[in-house]
Amino acid sequence: MRRIRAFLGCALLLAVAGLCGCGAPGNTWSGAFTPAVGDTRHFDVEEEVTIALTVQGQSSSATVSSHEQLLVEVTDVAADGLVTLEVTFEGIDLTADLAIMDTFDFIDGEALDPEEYRDIVQGAVGETVTVKVDPAGEVRYTMGIRDLPDRLLHKAEFPYGPRRNTLVMLLKDQFSQFAFEEGLTAIFDGYRNVPTRPGESWQRTRDVVGDFPVKLDETITLTSLAGGKACLNDEMRITGQDALAEDLLPGLTATLNLAGSGTRDYRLDAATSWLEEFTETGRVPGTARIVVTGLGSLDININIISSTRVRVR
C-alpha cells in the first residue's frame, strides 16, 4: 500500500482551514529541529489513498486507509545537533475495499484474505525503528525497518509458498525503508535551519527516487509566528515524465506519466520546532503503460487522491 505514497514523493497535502491563523509578525523562527534528550511525543497518523483506474474503457477504484499510533522518543542529541529518535509502533490498523487485492490473483491463483493481511500488519505493534534527523529536518539514517516484513511473517508463523511470497511483496511495500523515510521526510520537510521571519518563502526541488522516479518542486512559506506557534505552508508540484519501473512483478514493466499538485501545512512549537499538527492532501492524475512479457501491453488512465493528517501530543 505504501508503494503508492512512496512513488508520489510521499504524501500530497491540503491544509485544514484555520489551522494556522494569520498572527501578527513575531520574533524570528530558528527554522531548526532542536528537541532535548528525553523528549517524548505520541504521533497519531491517519492516511487515505484512493486510486481510480480506467483500462480499455472499464473503470474501477479502490480506497485504502491506515491509522498508526507512534511513540517517538529522543535518545540522543549530538554536538552537531543530529537527533536520534526511537520510533515505536503503538498501534496500526488498515481498512479498505481491497478489491485491489484481486490484482495479485495471477501470482498464485488464490486470492489473499484482507483480514489475514491486516492481522499480520498488526504484528508491527511493539516494533521499534531508530531514526537520525539533522537540525534542517533531513533524515540521515534509519535502522530496523528493512527486515520488519520478515519479522512479521515469522511472528505470524506463515507457511512458505507462493502466498507467502505475495505477502512478502506487499509487506515490503507497506514497510519499505524508502516509504518510511519518505514519510518522515514529509513531516520534517518544513525545517531549514535558517532563521526565518513570517511571510518569508523559500524554494526546494528534489528528485524522489522510488519505484517511479518523480520530481518535487516546493514553495514553503512561514505563514505566521504568534502565540508560541510557527505555522508553515508548502505548495507542491509533482511531475514524472516517462518514469520507468522495471520488474515490479516478474515479467512486468511500467512507464508512468504524472502531473499533479498538493499542499502541506504544519503547526510547530516555535521554540523546539516539535510538530504539533500536520495535514496533507493532493490529486495526481496521469497515465501508465503496463507491459507484460509474452502478453502485450495495456494503457491505463490513473487518478490518485491522497490525504494525511498527523496529530501530536
Tens of pLDDT, residue by residue over 58-77, are 888 888 888 999 999 999 99
By C-alpha distance, which of 184, 177, 176 is closest to 137? 184
Domain parsing of the chain, residue ranges: 2-312
Cell of 178: 524508502
Report the C-alpha gap between 233 and 265 in whole angstroms.
5
Q: Give the model confidence (pLDDT) of 81-103 as tens digits.
A: 999 999 999 999 888 765 555 54
Residue type, 139: V
- Whole-prediction pTM: 0.81
Per the DSSP assignment, residues forming a β-bridge with 282 are 262, 306
Residue 111 has what pLDDT?
56
Which one is predicted more confidently, 88 or 121?
Answer: 88
Residue type, 300: I
pLDDT bucket at 169, cuts 50 / 70 / 90:
confident
**Cα 224 off chain centre by:** 26
Report the C-alpha gap between 65 and 306 in whole angstroms.
10
Contact 310, 45 (CB under 8 A): yes
Kindly state the average pLDDT of the residues 161-168: 73
Residue 236 has what pLDDT?
94
